[in-house]
Each structure stands twice: as structure tokens, then as C-alpha cells.
Amino acid sequence: MVDKEKVKEVLELIRPALQADGGDVALIDVSDDGVVSVELQGACKGCPMSQLTLANSVERVLKERIPEVTKVVPAL
């Protein structure tokens, strides 16, 4: 089971890079099977590169720091 507070801490490390580009990220949910739902905000929300940002930045860093995270998905 993934610790939601730990996910929030890691997102705080990622947030400055997103904010530098006019965007942000919000944690929506963490499921029992390690799936983290996030919402990209600001400039990131409609950006064509948002899927790459999610996979290459948010997901990569979360998986590195919290091995229990299985994947990161955009909130619906």
C-alpha cells in the first residue's frame, strides 16, 4: 500500500519544475494497488506534452522514490 503523505512529499519536489513552466500538479487519489491519480493544472493542463510530462517527470520520480507506485494516471 502506498503512503499518500509520502506521495504528497514527492510531488512537492516535482512542483517547482512544473511551476517554472506555468503549470502545477495536484494529487487526486492513491489506489490500493499503487496507482496514483493526479491532475495537471495551469499551463500543463492543456499542453500537448502533458502525457510526456506525466510519464517522464511525475511518474519517473514517484517510482524512483516510492517503489510501491505502479503507475501515474491523469484524473478523469
Counts of helices then strands in the chain (DSSP H, E)? 3, 3
Contacts of 36 (CB under 8 A, 6+ apart): 2, 7, 27, 29, 30, 59, 62, 69, 71, 72, 73
Predicted local distance difference test score (pLDDT) of residue 17: 87
Kindly report the pTM of this predicted structure: 0.88
Q: What CATH number corresponds to the domain at position 41?
A: 3.30.300.130
Q: Calculate mean pLDDT across residues 3-25.
A: 93
Question: Domain range for residue 26?
Answer: 4-74
Would the pLDDT of 23 be above 80?
yes
How many domains does one find in the chain?
1
**pLDDT of 24-72, one tens digit each?**
999 999 999 999 999 989 888 877 877 777 777 899 999 999 999 999 9
Distance of CA 46 to the CA centre of its chain: 16
